[in-house]
Amino acid sequence: MERVVKADFVDALTTAQSQVDDYQSKLEVLNQNLFKAEAERKKFRDQFLYAEQELAAAKGREQVLQDQLSKDLSDS
> What's the number of domains the chain is made of?
1
Answer whether residue 1 shows pLDDT above 80. no
Answer whether residue 2 shows pLDDT above 90. no
CA separation for the pair 33, 17 (Å, rounded): 24
CA separation for the pair 13, 22 (Å, rounded): 14
53-58-62-65 Cα dihedral, nearest 10 degrees: 110
Domain assignment of residue 22, given as a range: 1-76
Rounded percentage of the chain residues whose pLDDT exceeds 90: 84
Answer whether residue 76 shows pLDDT above 90. no
pLDDT confidence of 4, banded at 50, 70, 90? confident
